[in-house]
């Protein structure tokens, strides 16, 4: 079982965006961050952060059986649950394709205060993106 937390930090809408992901596998923690390659809206950033997190998960733990995926974006969590995102279907389709590489992915919305690890990483990446 692996826990994946993701978050995005955007300055402006759209604007520079930082992506953060925290993976917890037993006693091991993997923290990753990066600046988005182009300005993103808040919602685009959340999808990009999730894809970034699942890409890292695929590289570090390709045999992960059960993945608990946590996000503080209600739009993202709802879209994954429904398989539909009115304005972000292309981004959702890319994410769902990545998620299909794992036996079981359980997606859960969490309040921002329960997503602080990924939140801090995203903000660090945003500061790097700015400059």
- Rounded to whole angstroms, the Cα distance separating 6 from 29 reads 13
- Rounded to whole angstroms, the Cα distance separating 67 from 24 reads 10
CATH of 2-95+105-130, one of 3.40.1360.10, 1.10.3720.10, 1.10.1740.10, 3.30.420.10: 3.30.420.10
Q: Is the pTM of the predicted complex or chain greater than 0.75?
A: yes
- Rounded to whole angstroms, the Cα distance separating 64 from 98 reads 13
pLDDT at 38: 95
**Tell me: the pLDDT tens digits for 51-110?**
999 999 999 998 888 999 999 999 999 999 999 999 999 999 999 999 999 999 999 999
pLDDT at 130: 82
Annotated domain spans of the chain: 2-95+105-130
- Report the chain's mean pLDDT, rounded to a whole number: 96
Cβ atoms 130, 11 nearer than 8 A: yes
pLDDT at 129: 82
């Amino acid at each position: 079982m692996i826990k994946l937390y993701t978050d995005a930090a955007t300055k402006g809408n759209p604007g520079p965006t930082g992506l953060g992901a925290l993976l917890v596998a037993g006693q091991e923690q993997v923290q990753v961050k990066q600046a988005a390659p182009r300005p993103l809206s808040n919602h685009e950033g959340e999808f990009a952060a999730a894809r970034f997190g699942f890409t890292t998960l695929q590289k570090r733990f390709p045999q992960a059986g059960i993945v608990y995926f946590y996000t503080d974006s209600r739009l993202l969590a709802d879209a994954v649950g429904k398989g539909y995102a009115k304005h972000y279907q292309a981004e959702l389709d890319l994410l769902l394709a990545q998620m299909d590489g794992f036996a079981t992915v359980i997606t859960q919305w969490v309040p921002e205060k329960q997503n602080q690890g990924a939140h801090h990483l995203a903000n660090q990446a945003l500061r790097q993106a700015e400059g």
